[in-house]
A and B are shown apart, each in its own frame.
Chain A
Amino acid sequence: MAPTIPMEEYKFNIDNGYLEGLVRGFKNGILSRNDYLNLVQCETLEDLKLHLQSTDYGNFLANEPGPLVVSTIDDKLREKLVVEFQHIRHHAVEPLSTFLDFITYGYMIDNIILLITGTLHQRPIGELISKCHPLGSFEQMEAIHVASNPAELYNAVLVDTPLAPFFVDCVTEQDLDELNVEVIRNTLYKAYLEAFYTFCEKLGGSNAEIMCEILAFEADRRAFIITINSFGTELTKDDRAKLYPRCGRLYPDGLSMLARADDYEQVRAVAEYYAMYAPLFEGAGNNPGEKTLEDKFFEYEVNLNKNAFMQQFHFGVFYSYLRLKEQECRNVVWIAECVAQRHRAKIDNYIPIF
């Protein structure tokens, strides 16, 4: 009997070889340190556009009339990413298609919350729709403002979408207001993350290895951020504990400790127990010259995503490519804002990728 040969890797290229090759090609076009060094030397947004012409972005801003503004750059960067993702999604078959759909659910959750919040503030639906992320659009999106409480939202709008199973936990009769909307967002996201984690675990092999690590970090990061952001709000500790995703390394002990934490120092003490999170809290602060905790989390995430490309024949490359490209968009927009406002003090606060 031959030694155990993992069967998925032999059959991966039949359905997914072209798409993995495509994504690796896209990954090679991600801006390098050199590109960022050139971008921070730009004096105007036109210089930025000229430099981006020599990268993989090419002439994406060529047909924009009038003086350039940062929001146009942001839209166009995102549009390119959306086109690439949708091309990949259209060519994908099971199980990659389910995997890619799972990725879009995260954006759908963000869109729903954006629409609900916007409706609460009486914004016209047309304005809100244009702010939604195109990867997370679904048919019933525009009719969200019909609902006035979560039960209605579920029964009328969400029950036909793929997000229905995640909504089971938060169907209540309370009215939608500011605090509740955030609670809904985090509850939805927790259910989504746990479902995604289970799906990746079932895929097995290097898929599980890589994706579960990334998703575990995502879960732990959310737990930390929820805890820190909930200090000084009306959210009780029990409610807070219900929002922690359970698929990370902090489950169960770390999560119970976080549930009892009262201030930033206690959160930091919890992180000390975990070797990979302790260095993120060290040296993080809001003083100038220090990196904020968010930035450190982003850096760690970028590292995890880069490592995904070290192995072949798994779906993690698609997820990682999307996240790295988003980080790149954030970087370019940050630099563009600093350039446009001529406030170059913090222009180097981007997170280099390659």
Chain B
Amino acid sequence: MGSLFRSEEMTLCQLFLQSEASYACVSELGELGLVQFRDLNPDVNAFQRKFVNEVRRCDEMERKLRFLQKEIEKDEIPVLDTGENPDAPQPREMIDMEATFEKLENELREVNNNAEALKKNFLELTELKHILRKTQVFFDEREGGVDEVMSKNLLPPEIGAGGQLGFVAGVIARERLPAFERMLWRACRGNVFLRTAEIETPLEDPSTGDEVHKCVFIIFFQGEQLKSRVKKICEGFRATLYPCPETPAERREMALGVMTRIEDLNTVLGQTTDHRHRVLVAAAKNIRNWFTKVRKIKAIYHTLNLFNLDVTQKCLIAEAWIPVADMETIHLALRRGTERSGSSVPPILNRMDTKEEPPTYNRTNKFTGAFQNLVDAYGVAAYREVNPAPYTIITFPFLFAVMFGDCGHGLIMALFGAWMVIKEKPLQAQKSKNEIWTMFFGGRYIILLMGLFSIYTGLIYNDVFSKSFNIFGSSFKVNYGDEMILTHKQLQLNPTTRDYYGTPYPFGIDPVWQVSSNKISYLNSYKMKSSIIFGVCQMLFGVILSTWNHRFFNKPLNIWAEFIPQVIFLTFLFGYLVILVFVKWIAYDASTAGCAPRVEFQSKFYGGTGHPFVPFSFDAILDQSYTED
């Protein structure tokens, strides 16, 4: 029988690999993807296994690659995905790769540090520039209207007349400003004067790259004690203080100096970012390949950790489940691996006898794989049991369509499925991480089939976006006069009279049902009966499938004790129901419909033609009057 009918025959094999050849052989087997290894060291800790150092080195390489990738993403450089699948490199190449990554990482870290220092400098100069600009206003106020300023705040006037006010100027993050103001007020008992002005453009924080909004502030105070306290508070709130000259002339000079320094710094910063960009672009070309290679190496060493090391240290022993049909391919792969590693001793593949139950393997392609997954979600079939998947390919979408039954929506569904199937390759290359999308895309063939079958059942139910087609002309005719139609809201069309042409609508449900008020009760009866027929047929089919299992596993008792009673129960109860449904459909037409028997299930168990005993009882009467209340 075909391979999808039953799961594959599997065998447990013992693999003897020479130590030098083991890496290359496992690499070849990894590319092939047909072998399931068993862990021969289950009670050994993760860090006590043989190849733990190599796994650690791979972890370290992966860390460096992740760092590089984060930097590449930060700069928004597009990463090229050529779809290449490089083989796992030889162990000696690993050292070269480690050296390359180390060099790249160090270079990048150095560039980042330099850039950060430059940006810090730039930030300071920018803040100073803003301070010089904004504090002009404050100083004007102070010098011009000393009295107004003094009377506006709570400083007693004698202090203003007494000495000169000292001041500090600085920049603080906007969100800290209210707490800062409050703290200043409390700590200095209201003896300082704070003016603030916002900086409109957000400034870039050098270490994180985030944009922060800041404010310029200037604090006037008198006396050394207040000065030290103010400075401590500023330090506590991470406000940066800048030396601000008192006279306007000095301020203008400083501003000019700051502008030139900012320009110089901009050029240097530009060059640093360019250099960093160049390094990252060069790395971005290869990073996908590197990731793949490192992951393959790590996987190989993880697998090698599962093997048993022979006492004489000459070879590694592995146990694996392999499909019998693929023995030749695996032999070839092992031979290729041995040749690649340059070893002389060929690997040995022995079949082992075992009483363990082998794993269930169903060979699928991209079309059947989705349905196999669907079946496996309910439960993986036992080893060499009949596989329900090939029948599911048709029955699952068909039963879905029986429930869906809308031609128009089915068309949309089929088009969506068809688009996903046609554009399979580019959509798959996108490697989207969105869970919902991967779910839909993984089931694209299922969706396509569901859509196609839904179109078919939609035509049968004559339901297109909840409207009906009238292709062939209805079999019902309206014989009422116009005044009847205009005055009565509901009129009856009787199939026994001239209202019905005598021949049914050729394909599907008659479109007249769409406008009838008893459409639901008619369609319900029809759909329910057809669903029961489909269901019973499918169950019978499933029970018959089990006979193949019983014959294959050579259990005749199961056939007599399980299969025969199941069939008897199913057919005599539900099969009889189905036969009754067909008989009622065929034997009775419109004229005899009045005396058609009911298709009942319960009448098989009891007749139900009696009438109840209703005694004269005060309890019953009183209960009744309570419920009426």
Q: Which residues of B contact A156 (CB under 8 A)?
A: 183, 186-187
CB-based contact A143/B183 at 8 Å: yes
Write out, one digit per residue, whether chain B residues 220-236 have a CB within 8 A of any chain A CB (1) or not (0): 00000000010011011
Contacts A63-B67, A146-B187 given; does A51 touch B182 at CB 8 Å: no
CB-based contact A159/B67 at 8 Å: no
Q: In this assembly, does A125 line the interface, its C-beta being within 8 Å of a C-beta of chain B? A: yes
Q: In this assembly, does A198 line the interface, its C-beta being within 8 Å of a C-beta of chain B? A: no
Write out, one digit per residue, whether chain B residues 248-288 have a CB within 8 A of any chain A CB (1) or not (0): 00000000000000000000000000000000000000000
Number of A-B contacts (CB under 8 A): 62
A268 nearest CB across to chain B (Å)? 43
Write out, one digit per residue, whether chain A residues 152-170 have a CB within 8 A of any chain B CB (1) or not (0): 1001110110000000000
Q: Which residues of A contact B67 (CB under 8 A)?
A: 63
CB-based contact B56/A46 at 8 Å: yes
Contacts A62-B59, A63-B66, A144-B236 given; does A155 touch B186 at CB 8 Å: yes
**Which residue of chain A lies nearest to B60 when distances are taken between CB atoms in the complex?**
A65
B321 nearest CB across to chain A (Å)? 24
CB-based contact B186/A50 at 8 Å: no
In the docked arrangement, what's the CA distance between A152 and B67, Å?
A: 47
Q: In this assembly, does B47 line the interface, its C-beta being within 8 Å of a C-beta of chain A? A: yes
A152 nearest CB across to chain B (Å)? 7
Q: Looking at the complex, which one of A51, A139, A155 makes contact with B47 (CB distance below 8 Å)?
A: A51
Q: In this assembly, does B195 line the interface, its C-beta being within 8 Å of a C-beta of chain A? A: no
**Which residue of chain B lies nearest to A159 when distances are taken between CB atoms in the complex?**
B186
Q: In this assembly, does A42 line the interface, its C-beta being within 8 Å of a C-beta of chain B? A: yes
**Which residue of chain B lies nearest to A47 when distances are taken between CB atoms in the complex?**
B47
Contacts A51-B45, A156-B186, A156-B187 given; does A146 touch B56 at CB 8 Å: no
Interface residues of A in 21-44 (CB under 8 A from B): 38, 41-43
The B interface is mostly helix, strand or loop, or mixed, namely helix
Q: Which residues of A contact B45 (CB under 8 A)?
A: 38, 41, 51
A58 nearest CB across to chain B (Å)? 13
Q: Which residues of B contact A157 (CB under 8 A)?
A: 183, 186
Q: Which residues of A contact B237 (CB under 8 A)?
A: 142-143
Q: In this assembly, does A122 line the interface, its C-beta being within 8 Å of a C-beta of chain B? A: no
Q: Which residues of A contact B238 (CB under 8 A)?
A: 142
Interface residues of A in 128-143 (CB under 8 A from B): 139-140, 142-143
Contacts A145-B232, A145-B236 given; does A160 touch B182 at CB 8 Å: yes
**Which residue of chain A lies nearest to B235 when distances are taken between CB atoms in the complex?**
A125
Q: In this assembly, does A174 line the interface, its C-beta being within 8 Å of a C-beta of chain B? A: no
**Which residue of chain A lies nearest to B228 when distances are taken between CB atoms in the complex?**
A146
Q: Which residues of A contact B59 (CB under 8 A)?
A: 62
Q: Looking at the complex, which one of A42, A54, A152 makes contact with B187 (CB distance below 8 Å)?
A: A152
Q: In this assembly, does B52 line the interface, its C-beta being within 8 Å of a C-beta of chain A? A: yes
Q: Which residues of A contact B187 (CB under 8 A)?
A: 143, 146-147, 152, 156
Q: Which residues of B contact A41 (CB under 8 A)?
A: 45, 48
Q: Which residues of A contact B66 (CB under 8 A)?
A: 62-63
Write out, one digit per residue, whether chain A residues 54-77 have a CB within 8 A of any chain B CB (1) or not (0): 100000001101000000000000
Q: Looking at the complex, which one of A50, A65, A143 makes contact with B52 (CB distance below 8 Å)?
A: A50
Q: In this assembly, does B63 line the interface, its C-beta being within 8 Å of a C-beta of chain A? A: yes
Q: Which residues of A contact B63 (CB under 8 A)?
A: 62-63, 65
Among A42, A47, A50, the most chain B Cβ lie within 10 Å of the Cβ of: A50
CB-based contact A50/B47 at 8 Å: yes
Q: Which residues of B contact A62 (CB under 8 A)?
A: 59, 62-63, 66
Among A42, A63, A125, A140, the most chain B Cβ lie within 10 Å of the Cβ of: A140
In the docked arrangement, what's the CA distance between A152 and B183, Å?
A: 11
Q: Which residues of A contact B377 (CB under 8 A)?
A: none
Q: In this assembly, does B176 line the interface, its C-beta being within 8 Å of a C-beta of chain A? A: yes
Contacts A125-B235, A142-B237, A143-B232 given; does A50 touch B183 at CB 8 Å: no
In the docked arrangement, what's the CA distance between A38 and B49, Å?
A: 13
**Which residue of chain B lies nearest to A139 when distances are taken between CB atoms in the complex?**
B179
B189 nearest CB across to chain A (Å)? 9
Q: Which residues of B contact A42 (CB under 8 A)?
A: 47
In the docked arrangement, what's the CA distance between A144 and B156, Å?
A: 28
In the docked arrangement, what's the CA distance between A63 and B233, Å?
A: 36
B42 nearest CB across to chain A (Å)? 14
Q: In this assembly, does B491 line the interface, its C-beta being within 8 Å of a C-beta of chain A? A: no
- Which residues of B pack against A, CB within 8 Å? 45-48, 52, 56, 59, 62-63, 66-67, 176, 179, 182-183, 186-187, 229, 232-233, 235-238
22 contacts between A and B (CB under 8 A): A46-B47, A46-B56, A50-B52, A51-B45, A53-B46, A54-B46, A62-B59, A63-B63, A125-B235, A139-B176, A140-B179, A142-B235, A142-B236, A143-B183, A143-B187, A143-B232, A144-B236, A146-B183, A146-B229, A146-B232, A156-B183, A156-B187
Question: What 9 A-B pairs are tightest by C-beta distance, nearest first?
Answer: A143-B236, A47-B47, A142-B236, A156-B187, A156-B186, A50-B47, A139-B179, A146-B232, A146-B187
